[in-house]
Structure 1
Amino acid sequence: MRELLGRHEDLASARPDEPAVVHAREPHAGTAQTWAHLCVRAGEIQEALTDQGVKPHQVCSLVLKDHPDLVPTLLALWRLDCPPVLLDAKWGARMTSSVLAHSTPTFGVTLDDGGTGAPPAVAPLAPGPSDAPSDAVFIGYTSGSTGDPKAIVFTHERLYEGTLGNASASKRLRGGPVRRIARSMRMSGSGVINLHHTWGAVLGATVVVLPELTVSTARDYWARIEAHGIDQTFLVPQLVEPVSRFAADRDPAVDAPLCLTGSAPLSPRTQARFQRRFGTTLYNAYGLSETSSAAFFGHQGPDGLAPTASASPSG
């Protein structure tokens, strides 16, 4: 039970001074958090939440933000057995209201925006107790292909075990351990957490939060990857396209990171252009939100490039 919480605490004990999260994205650029700092800050936030009336074993909501307190807040909520419903700050009012009406969290948590270092704020939402699912780490919502948003309960055990398989696959594909993972996406949901921060914790790797990847920032993408010594990066197809079109050429003398893509269909033409232009394999991963992790990873063809089909299981 609570394997992900235990993993963070084990790293804080065994490797307290090693960086866990490095922020290279404004307004928090220059902030680095060690494994020990994450857990110490989680204790402070847990105390602050308790002082604001939070009781254990309640479902809450959490508005996701690119913020140094995000991971410590998750750890604090896990210590309280209060799994958060993950809310995207860019959802419209209708989507947010629908998710809250379905999940009925007892309280909502909002991260401080003022840069004062204040702990997250708590606001009551639904009266009465809420039954927190057993061993839940958080609750995500997905619309799938059609219909209203559907709840997915991510558990510590399932997410941890699934990510162990992912970590094994990334080590095999890279030919060695992954030590630094780049996050170029904005913090928007469970997938972004799982593909970066959960993966980083299971690997014991540092997550580097780079500037959000857009058309305007794509030019310097490889320079940032090289400057931060990135070993692994995950780009959804919508981000593969601007890198392919607008990024400056990669230095072939520098080892390329393990490049993964997934979460949506990828055009074979886009994948081929990316691989040939930058001289690195782009593996196409496949998974479901319901499986908590990728289930299959791409493979190399005879030409050393990866096809769009995914054929290698994560384990």
Structure 2
Amino acid sequence: MLTKYDQGLHKRQANFVPLTPLHFLRRAADVFPDRDAVIYQDRRYSWRQYADRCYQLARALITVGVERGDTVSIIAPNVPEMLEAHFGVPLSGAVLNSINIRLDAPAIAFILQHSETRILLADTQFAATVREAVAQTGMPIQVIDIRDPASGAEDTVGAVDYEAFLASAADVELRYPEDEWDAIALNYTSGTTGSPKGVVYHHRGAYLNALGQSINAGLAGADPVYLWTLPLFHCNGWCFAWAMAAMGGTHICLRKVVAKDIYDAIATHGVTHLCCAPTVLDFLIDGKPEDWSKPSRPIRIVCAGASPPTAVLRRISALGFALLHVYGMTEMHGVNTLCQPQREWEGEGEDGYFSHLSRQGVRSVVMEEMVVVDAAFNPIPRDGKAIGEVMFRGNLAMKGYLKNPEATEEAFADGWYHTGDLAIVHSDGYIEIKDRAKDIIISGGENISSLEVEEVLYTHPAVQNAAVVAVPDAKWGEVPCAMLELKPEYAGTLNAEDVIQYCRQRLPGFKTPRHVVFEPLPRTATGKLQKFALRKMAAEILSNRIQ
């Protein structure tokens, strides 16, 4: 219904511009032209120089015929060219597809075919895999080689390298989105249960989450120096490539993530922020230099994934890192909730504080709605006991899955995005993930959270990595099985009964693992545990033991 506030008050060029993070780049170049934007080994670009390189990439793509809606893919570690692609590709009107560098040739070939990639920017370290993948597609994909002396790779695939490609650009007009719902990026899920699905991001969601991340991580007013320990191919680095442009901060690129390089970067560049999975916390703890001293201002870490054990939180804090635990998924532009710190926690002692800190928390400032519901779609009570599925609704949701309307409709059924993650809700409204819906263990009619049992296992000093899965049981239907990787110095010092007794002292009997397996844990190319593969492995190992 039209009201007086609609009459003669329509959208026009002067008062409505599609939301897009691409405008952050132009502002950073205008406001911070001489401030360092990107530092990588002996390369250093100011914001003016970095913006010019992004614009050159866009113009080079347009020059060779890239049209709006085309796909331009990139396979590269966290080097400057990867950052440039996050602006240059969408400024050509194309959609950026950042491919996981750990994938094999068939997986890459599937993505290239499914996305209908026109041009592929590829670091020469992956030349052999890229050559094989492109050949498997049978498509005329133009490959642009990214040469980096630090890679030690001389092999090439394409007919032109990245710098020559930039130099070939004609003076053509850049292409900003015509609609904020236009696609900006394409990210493929891990594909642990089949072919990966292509998640389509839009300019509106990327813009909002870039600003949301700036708030979440405390980038504003901090003159942030951001260390790239999080892969840029993972949810576009949780939108931090765009967020740092909004803040005019400095990117510190890392070709590989190892403790020495992280600590060297901190010492050399005064790193203030980084993002990571919990495994990087272990790197920081185990790789601490002998001369390390706690920084005067804590270095902020945004960490997502399984809740870090409280022992890890305590040790990482003692080193001078301030950790913010977040939660999200590829389908929602990355991060959707954060464990928003509260002053009251400090009065609960160290154990109480870290117990709070390990939760997934509350929705971020740019996430409109979140609910946790039971099977009847009713909100669960805030009692810290009832378990329900986490669902989201808001502007951070993807457009959908590329060329997969059935999966898109299933994901958005009933007007919500269904995460498939099960959580409890505490009295303060903070959620705590307990499991994936498909990974919950039902033993004798009782629900067992594999994550809860894993939390206990991680408190054992000998345990490096742990996973808990269901295995068949004649009496109870299924029971928990603990699968462990031990720290090297503890190899051979722990047996199954030791583990079971340790858990029995800390868990109710029905939650205590009935079986223990000491084996390497299979993971996806993004480092996630493959629970379906673990279940199969555990069942086979236990079957052979019985025989």
Under TM normalisation by the shorter chain, which class is it?
0.7 to 0.9
State the TM-score, normalizing by the size of structure 2. Answer: 0.49
Distance 1:40 1:59, change over 3 A: same
Q: Aligned letter for 1:95? A: A
Among 20, 30, 44, the alignment partner of 1:3 is 20
Among 266, 269, 274, the alignment partner of 1:228 is 269
CA deviation profile, 1:57-76 (whole Å, cap 9, x unmatched): 32232223433233333323
Structure with higher Rg: it is 2
C-alpha contact (below 8 Å) 2:278/2:304 kept by paired residues: yes
191-200 or 33-42, which deviates more: 191-200
Distance 1:50 1:282, change over 3 A: closer
Among 236, 239, 244, the alignment partner of 1:200 is 244
Secondary structure in 2 aligned to 1:200? helix
Give distance in 1, aligned partners of 2:296 and 2:270: 10
C-alpha contact (below 8 Å) 1:219/1:246 kept by paired residues: yes
Written as runs of structure 1 = structure 2, the 5 A alignment for 1:1-315 is 1=18, 3-23=20-40, 29-110=41-122, 111-114=144-147, 117-119=163-165, 134-143=181-190, 146-171=193-218, 177-187=222-232, 189-191=233-235, 193-194=237-238, 196-210=240-254, 212-214=256-258, 218-219=259-260, 221-248=262-289, 250-252=292-294, 254-276=296-318, 278-298=319-339, 299=341, 301-302=345-346, 303=349, 305-306=353-354, 307-315=357-365
Give distance in 1, aligned partners of 2:361 and 2:241: 25
Quote how far apart the aligned CAs of 1:21 are.
1.3
Quote how far apart the aligned CAs of 1:219 are.
4.5
Distance 1:265 1:145, change over 3 A: farther
Give distance in 2, aligned partners of 1:15 and 1:220: 27
State the TM-score, normalizing by the size of structure 1. Answer: 0.81
Give distance in 1, aligned partners of 2:76 and 2:264: 28
Quote how far apart the aligned CAs of 1:120 are.
6.6
C-alpha contact (below 8 Å) 1:45/1:120 kept by paired residues: yes
C-alpha contact (below 8 Å) 1:221/1:247 kept by paired residues: no
CA deviation profile, 1:8-63 (whole Å, cap 9, x unmatched): 1121122211121111xxxxx12111221122122322333233332333223222
C-alpha contact (below 8 Å) 1:184/1:211 kept by paired residues: no
Quote how far apart the aligned CAs of 1:223 are.
4.9
Give distance in 2, aligned partners of 1:83 and 1:47: 14
CA RMSD across the alignment: 3.0
Structure 2, gaps ≥5 residues long:
1-17, 123-143, 149-160, 168-179, 366-547
Alignment length, in residue pairs?
294
Distance 1:90 1:119, change over 3 A: farther
Give distance in 1, aligned partners of 2:72 and 2:295: 48
Greater relative contact order, per chain length (Cα 8 Å cut-off, separation 6+): 1
Distance 1:40 1:280, change over 3 A: closer
Alignment correspondent of 1:127: none
281-290 or 152-161, which deviates more: 281-290
Residue identity (%): 19
CA deviation profile, 1:183-227 (whole Å, cap 9, x unmatched): 13454x14353353223123222111246322xxx2464453143
Quote how far apart the aligned CAs of 1:134 are.
4.9
Structure 1, gaps ≥5 residues long:
24-28, 122-132
Secondary structure in 1 aligned to 2:281? helix
Distance 1:246 1:73, change over 3 A: closer
Alignment correspondent of 2:489: none
